[in-house]
Structure 1
């Protein structure tokens, strides 16, 4: 199909309205006298980018892998728990272990970057082809990309590398995001009035 959605991504749904994508509705079936939800058509990798990335890396193309890569393309800097919740919305039941396995395999293959800001859970992103750094909010953990001013790796080198073959420097800029800065200002103003 031209949209990159494979037949395995679709579950036939009785009563699916013409033009409905499956995101908007769940159909139901009668199972032993109870109403049970049936998963509707939910595209896992609508543009096929995740499928292409997996194939180029020599990894098996599976629904969980495609769903994880596609979800992270839309939600960068997500934790494993956030990825798991997002993928479950698309696929239904996916184990936490399966999500961790997919994240590990894709990071090992260079399809994902794992970042670990001190004191915060590991986060994952699809932006892997360049040397960039991160801004991290000390209060809420919000993480944003910031381009490296040097551009090439490593952008910093130690004065004494002690024999290490340094190939990367990870720079994290810490501070408060705009939302937390505003909240901090409101809190400070409230305390000043007391």
Structure 2
């Protein structure tokens, strides 16, 4: 957990102006990994009651562009945000309840998946990140969905 002074230093290091709304949104993202925008607005308002929707959106855009926050969007879901950046990890999404968990890079170095250049489509690209989303059932949902084998 990074304290507010650490968050301010991250903003300075990214050459972003340090503002109370940006620090607040960074704190909300750190406290609520994988949250969508509406959840982050609510969390930000717990810390800074007068923060507007637009200010949260603007802060998320600036923080994402600076690489301080990561935005990802599982198929059929709202965009999600997290403060775990720079390690090229992936996500596991439960098809039933929607819970999201971090999954460390499968194997190898960043990017941990190197695509085959079977048709020359990769010529000129310098790949630095791979985004993988694994889908399945979390342990709780898997237990509920197990067939009953009692006679």
Shared fold, TM over 0.5: yes
Number of aligned pairs?
A: 145
Superposition map of 1:1-194 within 5 A: 46-160=3-117, 162=121, 163-165=123-125, 166-185=127-146, 188-189=147-148
Larger Rg, first or second structure (1 or 2): 1
Q: Counterpart of 1:4? A: none
Q: Tell me, which stretches of 5 or more residues in structure 2 are unaligned?
A: none
Moved more, 114-123 or 148-157: 148-157
How far the C-alpha of 1:46 sits from its partner, in A, is: 4.5
Please say if residues 131 and 152 of structure 1, whose CA atoms lie closer than 8 Å, have aligned partners that are also in contact: no
How far the C-alpha of 1:184 sits from its partner, in A, is: 2.5
Please say if residues 137 and 174 of structure 1, whose CA atoms lie closer than 8 Å, have aligned partners that are also in contact: yes
**Residues in 1 aligned to 2:108 and 2:18: alpha-carbon distance in whole angstroms:** 32
Q: TM-score, normalised by structure 1?
A: 0.68
Seen in structure 2, the aligned counterparts of structure 1 residues 182 and 114 have a Cα distance that, compared at 3 Å, is same
Please say if residues 131 and 151 of structure 1, whose CA atoms lie closer than 8 Å, have aligned partners that are also in contact: no
Seen in structure 2, the aligned counterparts of structure 1 residues 154 and 102 have a Cα distance that, compared at 3 Å, is same
How far the C-alpha of 1:150 sits from its partner, in A, is: 2.0
Please say if residues 97 and 141 of structure 2, whose CA atoms lie closer than 8 Å, have aligned partners that are also in contact: yes
Q: Counterpart of 1:23? A: none
Q: Tell me, which stretches of 5 or more residues in structure 1 are unaligned?
A: 1-44
Please say if residues 112 and 127 of structure 1, whose CA atoms lie closer than 8 Å, have aligned partners that are also in contact: yes
**Residues in 1 aligned to 2:58 and 2:133: alpha-carbon distance in whole angstroms:** 26
